[in-house]
Chains A and B, each alone.
Chain A
């Protein structure tokens, strides 16, 4: 976890010395895209390799799915409500 904070601080420091241009943004965008692809692939592989998880998937999967669905829906609902109100007021 701490390595993420260090990576972010190094990035911000490098970025603050770079003059922003479309060319640089294009490059950072491309690196982010490649990074996201690799990250999601390895996250997926981690799930696929977890045999214990896969064998119990049906029993615990449905319960987990229900929890994820409702917590996600209500989180989106409340955040949208509040952020919309704040944005409208600052306009």
Chain B
């Protein structure tokens, strides 16, 4: 599975760089959206078939809020340290870290707030975060625990990374993962400008 994941993203990048015409770019977005929605539909069917899922979630109810909270904490700590290493002002580094993997939004936000370069850094940060999620989810499920697969996915745990979480864990974790994505996605447009305004 991990190999086919790497192969499909690698072949995609290669195809985009070489033979795919640039005129196809806007359609790629539509194609991604359609593929994603069909996928989420099947993830939903999996959840719906699981009759005692809400009882399972109640058992670990605290995790519903603890997981997004810990991802925010981890992202803040991680981006603060990165700022120190790379010599970037801490308000800027914290704002970059608050994208939580949602590259389309945080990149645009920071381009508008600051410069296109910082927007691009934020975009790349979240692209790499998503690549980390793709690579790490199978290993986290195997060696740590199912809930930890949500951590690298960040805000993408509700959409692009949800099928991966679903494949390696169980429907209870999928519901928590979805909820985590909703909470983090709501926080991105709040926390990015908030941290940026701190001087």
Contact = CB atoms under 8 A, between A and B. Distances in A.
Interface of A: 1, 3-4, 7-20, 24-25, 28-29, 31-33, 35-51, 53-54, 56-57, 60-61, 63-84, 86-87, 90
Contacts of A63: 86, 88, 121, 124-125
B60 A61 contact: no
Nearest to B148: A80
A79 B70 contact: yes
A49 B48 contact: no
B194 interface: no
Given A1-B185, A90-B60, A76 B148 contact: yes
Contacts of A45: 12-13, 15-16, 20, 28
Contact of A67 (B39, B73, B97, B144): B97
A42 B20 contact: no
A3 to B, nearest CB: 6
Contacts of B75: 71, 74-75
Contacts of B163: 32, 35-36, 39
Contacts, number: 300
Given A15-B46, A54-B17, A68-B129, A76 B151 contact: yes
Contacts of B32: 39, 42-43, 46
Interface of B: 1, 4-5, 8-18, 20, 22, 24-25, 28-29, 31-33, 35-51, 59-60, 62-63, 66-67, 70-71, 73-75, 77-79, 81-82, 85-86, 88, 93, 96-97, 117, 120-134, 136, 140, 144-145, 147-148, 150-152, 154, 158-160, 163-164, 166-167, 178, 185
Among B45, B124, B131, the one with the most A-chain Cβ atoms within 10 Å of its Cβ is B45
Given A11-B44, A46-B32, A64-B127, A80 B144 contact: yes
DSSP majority for the A interface?
helix
A32 B93 CA distance: 36
Contact of A70 (B8, B43, B79): B79
Given A36-B163, A37-B5, A42-B31, 20 more contacts: A4-B158, A12-B45, A14-B48, A15-B48, A15-B49, A28-B46, A35-B39, A38-B35, A39-B160, A48-B15, A65-B128, A70-B79, A71-B129, A74-B74, A76-B140, A76-B148, A79-B71, A79-B150, A79-B151, A80-B144
Given A41-B12, A43-B9, A14 B28 contact: no
B134 A79 contact: no
Contacts of B29: 46
Contact of B16 (A17, A25, A49): A49
25 contacts: A1-B159, A3-B33, A7-B44, A9-B44, A11-B41, A11-B44, A11-B48, A13-B44, A15-B44, A15-B47, A19-B49, A39-B39, A40-B12, A44-B13, A46-B29, A47-B12, A63-B86, A63-B88, A63-B124, A66-B85, A67-B121, A71-B78, A72-B152, A78-B74, A86-B63
